[in-house]
Chains A and B, each alone.
Chain A
Amino acid sequence: EAGVAQSPRYKIIEKRQSVAFWCNPISGHATLYWYQQILGQGPKLLIQFQNNGVVDDSQLPKDRFSAERLKGVDSTLKIQPAKLEDSAVYLCASSLEAGQMNYEQYFGPGTRLTVT
């Protein structure tokens, strides 16, 4: 089966510019996650969707970050305006259904963002 797809793989922008990342989860996966992975740290959950609804966005900096999953399939994460500290790898993951004991999150290759 096809894995989680993300694009672009790399992006370099200047601070105060905007950027958008796209994620297409594994077919049939109801739950989609966006993580931020800063160099030298583990991934940190930004937002979790169940179908097209937000389950948890408590760690999302809502003054500059936004995310949507309008049709319950693919998703976009946007940063506007970007700051230097947003430089990180943004990982998308999906799972069949959150809340099941043996669920597994499948990760995409990530988008590496550099803000200069």
Chain B
Amino acid sequence: AQSVTQLGSHVSVSEGALVLLRCNYSSSVPPYLFWYVQYPNQGLQLLLKYTTGATLVKGINGFEAEFKKSETSFHLTKPSAHMSDAAEYFCAVSDNDYKLSFGAGTTVTVRA
């Protein structure tokens, strides 16, 4: 069975600063990895996903994530935070059954 750990339930960054959200997973098979964003009172929106191939994945809104098998990590980054990035971010893992297991989420606040 797979599981996801997101380090830090809250992250606060200044506008223009680097955003780094950490995600570690456990899976018995090569995983599929996802990052979702949830804005207040909205559903989850897919930011990016890793299935196979290139380990550096680019997503929407300037986000990217790197799959590191040796570290069982899939950290999410954005070089320069914008006020509109304030939201909750969820890392998720799926194995061969395509069911998603989510982390507990990280809330990002952006300071002006």
| A-contact bits for B66-95, CB 8 A (1 contact / 0 none) | 000000000000000000000000101000
Contact between chains at B43 and A45 (CB < 8 Å): no
Q: A102-B51, A107-B45 are in contact. Are A48 and B99 (CB under 8 A)?
A: yes
Contact between chains at A109 and B41 (CB < 8 Å): yes
What chain B residues lie within 8 Å of A43 (beta carbons)? 44, 90, 100, 102
Contact between chains at A99 and B98 (CB < 8 Å): yes
Main secondary structure of the interface of A (DSSP, over half): loop
Q: A4-B43, A109-B42, A109-B43 are in contact. Are A42 and B51 (CB under 8 A)?
A: no
B98 (CB) vs chain A CBs: closest residue: A98
When the two chains form the complex, which single residue of A4, A101, A104, A109 contacts B46, counting CB atoms closer than 8 Å? A104
CB distance from A22 to the nearest CB of B (A): 15
Range class of the A interface residue count: 20 to 34
What chain A residues lie within 8 Å of B45 (beta carbons)? 107
Is B31 engaged at the interface, CB distance under 8 Å to the other chain? no
B52 (CB) vs chain A CBs: closest residue: A101
Is A91 engaged at the interface, CB distance under 8 Å to the other chain? yes
Q: A56-B99, A99-B98, A101-B51 are in contact. Are A42 and B92 (CB under 8 A)?
A: yes
> CA of A25 to CA of B43 in the docked complex: distance in angstroms?
13
- Which B residues from 17 to 35 make CB contacts under 8 A with A? 32
B99 (CB) vs chain A CBs: closest residue: A45
What chain A residues lie within 8 Å of B104 (beta carbons)? 40-42
> CA of A108 to CA of B45 in the docked complex: distance in angstroms?
9
> CA of A93 to CA of B102 in the docked complex: distance in angstroms?
14
| B-contact bits for A36-56, CB 8 A (1 contact / 0 none) | 000011111100100000001
> CA of A13 to CA of B54 in the docked complex: distance in angstroms?
48
- 11 A-B contacts (beta carbon < 8 Å): A42-B92, A42-B105, A43-B90, A43-B102, A45-B100, A93-B43, A99-B98, A101-B52, A102-B51, A107-B43, A109-B41
A residues with CB within 8 A of B: 4, 9, 40-45, 48, 56, 91, 93, 98-105, 107-110, 112
